[in-house]
Amino acid sequence: MLVCPFSGRPDMRRLALLLLLLACAHANAATLHVSSLDSQADAPLGVHVSGMRPTELVELRLAMKDAKGIIWRSSAVYRADLDGMVDPAITAAEAGSYMGIDQTGLFWSMQPEGPPRPLPFPIQRRPGDLRFSPAEFTLDVVSGGRVVDTVKLRRWIDGKDVCAFPVTSDGLVANVYAPQGALVDGRRHPTVITLGGSEGGIESANMYAAWLASHGFVAMSVAYYRMPGLPKDLVRVPIDPVSMGVTWLQDQSYVDPSGIGVLGGSWGGTIAMAAASHDPRLRAVVSFVGSPAPFRGIQRDVAPADFRAVNKPGLTFKGKDLPFLPYREDASWLDEKEAEIQSTLKAALLPIEKINGPLMLVAAGDDRLGLSGEMAAVAQRYLARHAHGTHDQIMYFSDAGHLISPLWQPTTHRHDLGPHLQVGGTPEGYARADRESGAAVIEFLRSALGNTR
């Protein structure tokens, strides 16, 4: 019940009522707008808030639950422009979990409300399915100290319009991801083979493949170790499954046989370069933090870190060992004055000048695990001397570490994999690399293999 102290004077009653209505209007005027409640995990949200007074402060809060059930949260305070609008893509955060203008800020700055080393990426495969469940977020608008608007968001790797199935072929552990209808539309589509890193298995390759399929490519995830029938350790692992994948794909009516590329992350990036150096049917290569010179092999299931480097070749091709780069304390592989170091490097380099198409390297300047920034410079210098071509690209992110991803996700704990595994990078550095690398890779592959639109 409203008690008006000016009940005796009609003009004062009207004034009091007007003030009350204005207060209620301002308290409820902030309205949240989102271009799509279902969107790809590498796409801008298209969020803005309207209906505020000029220069009024408003807070956005984002929350999600990760694969371990831990809640992550972020928040930022913005000041409305002269039209009473806030758009995180162009409006600076003045306080909160990040500062400045950054449309990915609410994603990468999320912090967990749980134990250390949480699992930041909430997207998992659907039970009994090769496709992925979406990550679910809650976005709140807070004005005057209370929540005035809320939306539920879903972020997909592959979206609703991607199909997936396992490949049945001797010696090949693989899955195919494709845009809905691509298998039966009578067209031949550009196709990318995807490879995961030294963690082994096929899940990382599946994520890459699902992501590419959401952008119109046919993609085949290929496992090379730590799957049934494949090596347990990353020692003398055959790269031949990549070429086997090419052969299988070229027999499919929906694949453009002259438009097949390969993409890999970490050791998968190295294997991508190795495979394309020996197989001219691969017409484009993308390496996320891989090395043009393979490092030593890795023995697994060894305490305390699970990984132990061994002085044995990591890779083979057609039964023959590929060279590898031995460990050198404080070696600078770019120092041309050190003849011994350059001789060692030359012996280990893959013949990447033989790649039958452009090469894209996504590299990190603070990569403490794979030295991808330094090794990208080695590759650039080597390719220039061999006049490989003008379409090679390097994306270098000085403050990123070894775990660059093409998807928008929290980066605040990505550098922390425990005391035995140093990957480097800062939250802001990873955020920039994630934001910029994915779109650039898609554009590179479309240019090299054919447009998917």
Task: Supply the residues annotated as catalytic.
Answer: 266, 367, 402
Tokens 């090949």 sit on residue: 172
Pick from 100, 22, 29, 113: which is nearest to 66 by CA?
Answer: 113
Residue 236 CB coordination number (10 Å): 16
Pick from 278, 240, 282, 279: which is nearest to 257 by CA?
Answer: 282
* CA dist list (Å): 215 to 220, 239, 282, 293: 14, 27, 20, 30
The amino acid at 235:
V
Burial-class residue 307 by CB neighbours within 10 Å (0-12, 13-18, 19+).
middle
Cis peptide before 410 (omega within 30 of 0): no
- Cβ atoms of 59 and 73 within 8 Å: the answer is no
Spatial separation of the C-alpha atoms in residues 212 and 207, rounded to whole Å: 9
Report the side by side order of strands in the sheet with 255-265.
162-166, 174-179, 218-222, 189-195, 255-265, 285-288, 359-364, 393-397
Tokens 């590929």 sit on residue: 322
The most distant pair of C-alpha atoms in the chain lies apart, rounded to whole Å, by: 100
Instruction: Supply 258's token pair.
Output: 């002259």
Burial-class residue 77 by CB neighbours within 10 Å (0-12, 13-18, 19+).
middle
The one-character DSSP state at 133 is P
Beta bridge partners of 265: 288
- Long-range contacts of range 244-248, CB-CB < 8 Å, 24 or more positions apart? 244/169, 244/171, 244/172, 245/172, 245/174, 245/193, 245/220, 246/193, 246/279, 246/281, 246/282, 248/167, 248/169, 248/172, 248/174, 248/220
Pairing of strands 189-195, 218-222: parallel
